[in-house]
Amino acid sequence: MRTITLTDAIREAIEEEMRVDSSVFVVGQDVRGAIFPHTKGLVEEFGTDRVVDTPIAESGMYGVAFGAAQEGMRPIVDFMFGGFSYVTFSECSVTTGQYHFLHGSQHALPIVITAGVGTGQRLANDHAMSIHGTFAHHPGIKVAMPSTPYDAKGMFKAAIRDNNPVVIPWHMGIMMLKGEVPDIGDDYIVPLGVADVKRVGSDVTVLANSLQLQHALSVAEKLAPEISVEVIDPRSFVPFDMETLLTSLEKTNRLVIVDEDWESGGFAATVSARVVEQGFDLLDAPILRVTLPNMPVPGGYMEEYVAPNPERIEAAIREVCL
Amino acid sequence: MALSIDQKKSLMTNLIRAEEFNRMMYRRMMQGKLIGFYHPAEGAIAPGVAASTFLNQDDNLSPHHRGHGITHMLSKGIDIKYYLAEHTGKVTGCCEGRSAFHFSFPEHKVYMMSGFIGYNFAPAVGWGFAAKQRQKGQVVMNCSGDGSYGQGRAHEALLMAQNWKLPIIFFCENNGMSIFSTAMEMHPKPDISSLAEGFGMPSAIVDGQNVFEVAEACLEAIARARAGDGPTFIEAKTLRFNEHDIGTPDLSGWEERSEQEHAEMRAREPVAIATKIALEEGWLTQPDIEHMREAALREITDVEAFADESEIARPPVEELMQGVFAP
């Protein structure tokens, strides 16, 4: 095993899939020069037909991916920042999600949509918002986000090989996070729709993803002498692995959901509702959510206490364990 | 590009079919035998026939929504019975009865329909991108109306098609109306094709009531695209005889369109214009034309029987859920 960063892991997944499947290509804005490291160097190996820069025209840019996917290619479309996908939201959510189903489930639409998301850069709402909850709301699109370099490589490979539209953003707060990844050439995937117990515990379950997963793990370590925290990474939001969560709740009977999205109408709300519907009898305490308050994400220094953080996660864990 | 007599006969056949299919759809809507709505194509059938008749099966086509694309699809060789079955909510529909007015014929590269006007521009860039990479001379016929060129994505598509010399024909069926609003009011210039100039794209304006004139321009643009010489903008000036969709008032702005306007439009009826040319040039006789119409009516009888005899699609939710994602 080697130790590499999250963005290097994503780049390796893209490179390796592009080598074995000539229908895979990347389209975005300044992906050749690589605004972020996960597309760095791709153009030298694969050329400008497969690493494609477009004008600042998100609808047209996404259209390259959408139309090419209908033509049997496997595009990876990179929005740079997740919020930029909203510029062409009718295409990348509504029309994308309905294409297969509404037209009689006769034609697959394999598109990977990626972008950097999340707080930590102090850039404010349009550059900092999460997109997973919004896309998860629209049927017909798979949604996932990696939390470690190992998951990133395996999940991106799974997304590229999937025959459906897959939204797989990555969190800028962990872009340089290092972790163990199998050697180049040791092919593996992390299947979409499978959660992962990242830390075993018995008193409370914390569901958290990406940067917030790292926060949850550090809090769990800190609280270990007094509270045994089980930390589950959903990895995929659609499809969501409800079974792993319910199995954990059978043991812990307490749930904290950490989600770097707004409180209202987000993924955490969906999971809360499902647990109440399917696992009400397992609960010994109300479910608590640690989310963004319902305000546009502020930039500057206030981001660090408005967004979910270790202090808020610890407080929620202590509250459900009272 | 001059048309052969066989090509002219094909156009005439499809024009008459388009006219009769539009009448059938209009009648069924009035009879309550269609789901949803219908946007009648009367007066505006020549451009779609001209744009679609000479496409190959592996060329991409995005039909104009007027007439719900039937004019275009039947001209490309698609059997309309599966679309009528869809539009009547039947299990035999092209989308399994799930989609009302949407259509999808992937094997003919008519992939989709969306209720968002101008939806076609973004995927058209992708179809052109794929066609260019494949280097098999495939073209993209991207049809839409004057109204759709208000969309920013139309301008994005023009930009990228010209940047990359994609084999796309931007085919604007300008009937001068988007619902109640006139193109004169919604666009700064009378010719939508003037947009092409800003992108350095060649363009042509043709009489959209004359199917032969439109087809000549289309064949030229198709040949350019197949040869790798890039996109062309064709603007066919056409007319909308009826209201926007059945049941909506027939307004211009907020007032009824005048009887004089209707009379002037009716004098420009596309089948009458084509018939006059065919008889004058002598490559069809009146009985030939009557035979074409009889054949079209027989085809429509079969299409309606297929749709009417098919079962209504009412699958259980669990079964529908299986179709949300591809395996």
Sequence spans of domains, chain A: 2-181, 196-320
Give the 3-state secondary structure of residue A23.
coil
CATH of A2-181, one of 1.10.260.40, 3.40.50.970, 3.40.50.300, 3.40.50.2300: 3.40.50.970
Task: With residue A267 as reference, give the H or E element that holds it.
Answer: helix A267-279
Q: What ipTM was reported for this prediction? A: 0.95
Question: What pLDDT, on a 0 to 100 scale, did the predictor assign at position A185?
Answer: 85
Instruction: Give the side-chain half-sphere CA count within 13 A for B327.
Output: 1
pLDDT tens-digit map of A16-48: 999 999 999 999 999 999 999 999 999 999 999
CA dihedral of B181, B186, B192, B197, whole degrees rounded to 10: -170
Phi and psi dihedrals of A201, rounded to 5?
-155, 180
The answer to whether B146 and B192 are in contact (CB under 8 A) is: yes
| Residue to substitute from A49, A52, A66, A236, interface B, most B β-carbons within 10 A | A66
Q: CB B156 to CB A55 under 8 A?
A: yes
CATH topology of domain B5-321: Rossmann fold (3.40.50)
Query: Alpha-carbon torsion A131, A136, A142, A145, what sign?
Result: positive
The answer to whether B151 and B225 are in contact (CB under 8 A) is: no
Q: Which of A299, A254, A311 is nearest to A279 (CA)?
A: A254
Query: Alpha-carbon torsion B25, B31, B35, B36, what sign?
Result: positive
User: Prior bond to B123 cis, omega within 30?
Assistant: no
Flag whether residue A59 sits within 8 Å of chain B, measured between CB atoms. Answer: yes
Question: What pLDDT, on a 0 to 100 scale, did the predictor assign at position B1?
Answer: 75
Question: What pLDDT, on a 0 to 100 scale, did the predictor assign at position A304?
Answer: 87
Question: What pLDDT, on a 0 to 100 scale, did the predictor assign at position A116?
Answer: 98
Among chain A residues, CA nearest to B111 = A70
| Residue to substitute from B109, B133, B325, interface A, most A β-carbons within 10 A | B325
Here the tokens at position B2 are 């001059």
Here the tokens at position A303 are 């981001």
Q: Pick out chain B residues at pLDDT < 70.
A: none
The answer to whether A179 and A148 are in contact (CB under 8 A) is: yes
Of the candidates A54, A70, A94, the beta carbon closest to that of B123 is on A70
Flag whether residue B78 sits within 8 Å of chain A, measured between CB atoms. Answer: no
Of the candidates B106, B123, B131, the beta carbon closest to that of A66 is on B123
Per CB-CB distance under 8 Å, the chain B contacts of A48 are none
Phi and psi dihedrals of A203, rounded to 5?
-95, -35
Q: Which CATH class is domain A196-320?
A: alpha beta
Flag whether residue A191 sits within 8 Å of chain B, measured between CB atoms. Answer: no
Of the candidates B134, B320, B327, the beta carbon closest to that of A163 is on B327
Question: What pLDDT, on a 0 to 100 scale, did the predictor assign at position A44?
Answer: 98
Q: CB A57 to CB B325 under 8 A?
A: no
Question: What pLDDT, on a 0 to 100 scale, did the predictor assign at position A1?
Answer: 84
Q: Pick out chain A residues at pLDDT < 50.
A: none
Question: What pLDDT, on a 0 to 100 scale, did the predictor assign at position B31?
Answer: 97
Per CB-CB distance under 8 Å, the chain B contacts of A94 are 116
Here the tokens at position A89 are 């939201």
Phi and psi dihedrals of B160, rounded to 5?
-75, -35
pTM over 0.80: yes
Per CB-CB distance under 8 Å, the chain B contacts of A110 are 326
Flag whether residue A48 sits within 8 Å of chain B, measured between CB atoms. Answer: no
Q: Which of B92, B98, B128 is nearest to B113 (CA)?
A: B98
Of the candidates B104, B160, B320, the beta carbon closest to that of A60 is on B160
Instruction: Give the side-chain half-sphere CA count within 13 A for B34.
Output: 22
Flag whether residue B104 sits within 8 Å of chain A, measured between CB atoms. Answer: yes
Q: Identify the active-site residue in A38, A100, A127, A171.
A: A127
Asked whether this chain's domains A2-181 and A196-320 adopt the same fold, the reply is yes
Flag whether residue B28 sits within 8 Å of chain A, measured between CB atoms. Answer: no
C-alpha to C-alpha distance for B107 and A71, rounded to whole angstroms: 11
Name the residue ranges covered by the structural domains of chain B: 5-321
